[in-house]
Structures are given as C-alpha cells and as structure tokens.
Copies of this chain bind each other. A is one copy, B any other.
C-alpha cells in the first residue's frame, strides 16, 4: 500500500516528457496516471474501457468522433470528462496541460485502434515512478 500521500505536482515536477504518463498509484485493478500534454495527440480508441480525464493544470480539448461527426469538449483546470469505450478521440493541448487519467492497469495510451504513432508520442502502459 501507499505509505504516504502523493502530491500530483511533485510527480509532475520530476519529468518534462510530453505524452508519456507516469503511474502515480493504483486502486483495485486501475492505474492513476499523470502526464504532460502539449500540442496534438493522435486519434485513437480504447475498445474495452472508458477513460477518465481530470485537468490538473492548463486547458485540454478532447475531440470526439461519433457517427462520423466530430465535436470537441474543452476542459479548464479542475474539470473532468469521461470518453466512452470504443469512441475515437484526440486530445489537444495547444498551450500545454497537466492531466490525470484513470484506466485499467495495462491500458495502452494509444488505444486498440489508432493513427500512425509519431516519434513524439510514447506508446506505453505508463511508467513507474523512479
């Protein structure tokens, strides 16, 4: 178990990489991850799980593709949103953002369906804290 609480900002201060989540803690079979977002991610979908987002700092836009239509949801600092399983989505943080995400342990950041993964995106199930 965790022996002490963890301040999210302290974890965020340990790295600069964009789109490369760190696993802050776990509960049941879920990971709590934090990541720095900057610019545009790729369209992708998680077939078997919803994805929970909470904006720790900055502003996050999530583009959603539903019935061949695209729309976006904007999350200011302190806002939450859930992307339903199977839905194609594309996070964008033009001015940078720090994000907390929760999903089942082992969930790949780029999902089960995705565009080509450019070099600046880390396809990972999350990195343990050093």
Contacts and interface: CB of A to CB of B under 8 A. Distances in A.
Interface in A56-98: 56, 73-76, 78-82, 84-85, 87
Interface size of A as a range: 35 or more
Interface in A4-20: 4-9
A32 interface: yes
Report the copy number of this chain in the oligomer.
2
Contacts of A87: 1
B79 A6 contact: yes
A106 to B, nearest CB: 14
Contacts of A54: 54, 100
Nearest to A25: B82
Interface of A: 1-2, 4-9, 24-28, 30, 32, 49-52, 54, 56, 73-76, 78-82, 84-85, 87, 100, 102, 104
Given A1-B82, A5-B76, A7-B79, 17 more contacts: A1-B84, A2-B82, A5-B74, A5-B75, A6-B79, A6-B80, A7-B76, A25-B52, A26-B82, A27-B49, A27-B82, A28-B104, A30-B30, A32-B52, A54-B54, A54-B100, A102-B102
6 contacts: A4-B73, A6-B81, A27-B49, A27-B50, A28-B85, A30-B30
